Amino acid sequence: MELTIRKKDLDQIVDHCNSCLPDEACGILAGGDGRVEKIYRMTSARPGPASYEMDPGEQFRVLKDIRQSGRALVGIYHSHPGNPAYPSGIDVEKAYWPGTLFPNYPGAVHVIVSLMDRLNPAVKGYTIDKGEVAEVALQVV
Amino acid sequence: MSVKVRIPTPLQKLTNGKADVECGAKSINDLIDELERDYPGLKERLTDEGRVRRFINIYVNDEDIRFLNKEATALKDGDNISIVPAIAGGSAGATVRT
């Protein structure tokens, strides 16, 4: 499995993550067939340097827009300002419906941008499913 | 009186794969009870001690019930109900792959 993303979209994601420092940034990736076609920069309802929670109303409107545009949610991105580009325990916990191992958004690639090295951000993608975290190759085109 | 409920993918195992279900509930509390009657196990997934779970958001048409009357929000014929899991996380307690 891999996720294809345009270089300009990836640059926009990193720009967004930098602009939210020292807090985490978050956003939604829409597209289809493992390809990102549109990026939605999201507002964190509870901004902080080690957590994010998408504004629920904005999230609802964006998910509706994605459906109405014939696209699907293919990914969710957020930044780790001071930690590696690997899902934290909270990232894993929140990927599942509370109390289950059913992913909230099956098939979504969790893209994490680490800004530990501000000059060389690390961007990686993962699936979180069935209690396992698996890296997904990001194909930048 | 009928309302349509959009069931999120992780709960469709409990609705026999149905993405949309209809019921005649007159409030969100009624809706949760009716869903539980028809699809046992849904109530526990949606609520904790009688209240909608913290990271689950329920919308009546385009309105979040937290800004209406919460679980007592009244429903009317033709309403569309959406159950949407929050998207959240963060690097607190981040793990490093070994």
Tens digits of residue pLDDT in B44-90: 999 999 899 999 999 999 999 999 999 999 999 999 999 999 999 98
Strand B56-60 vs strand B80-85: parallel, antiparallel, or unpaired?
antiparallel
* Amino acid identity, position A108: A
User: Quick one: closest CA in A to B14, which residue?
Assistant: A102
Predicted pLDDT of residue B98: 41
Two structure tokens written together for A56: 């629920």
CB contacts, 8 Å: A61 with chain B: 62
Tell me if B45 and A48 make a contact (CB, 8 A cut-off). no
* Amino acid identity, position A126: Y
B86 at interface of A, judged by CB pairs closer than 8 A? yes
- Other C-beta atoms lying within 10 Å of the C-beta of residue A110: 24
Predicted pLDDT of residue B95: 52
Strand A72-80 vs strand A109-114: parallel, antiparallel, or unpaired?
parallel
With a cut of 60, say whether residue B97 has pLDDT above it. no
Predicted pLDDT of residue B94: 57
Predicted pLDDT of residue B93: 63
With a cut of 90, say whether residue A50 has pLDDT above it. yes
Tell me if A60 and B59 make a contact (CB, 8 A cut-off). yes
A19 at interface of B, judged by CB pairs closer than 8 A? no
For an interface test with B, give the residue of A60, A73, A96, A110 to mutate (most B CBs within 10 A).
A60
Of A28, A50, A94, which has the smallest distance from its Cβ to B88's Cβ?
A94
Two structure tokens written together for B58: 């329920």
Report the 3 state secondary structure along A76-100.
Answer: EEEEECCCCCCCCHHHHHHHECCCC
Note whether A112 and A85 are within 8 A (CB).
yes
CB contacts, 8 Å: B55 with chain A: 94, 98
User: Quick one: closest CA in B to A75, which residue?
Assistant: B87
DSSP 8-state secondary structure symbol assigned to residue B8: P
Strand extents, DSSP E, A17-119: 26-32, 35-42, 52-53, 72-80, 109-114
Give tens-digit pLDDT for A69-119.
999 999 999 999 999 999 999 999 999 999 999 999 999 999 999 999 999
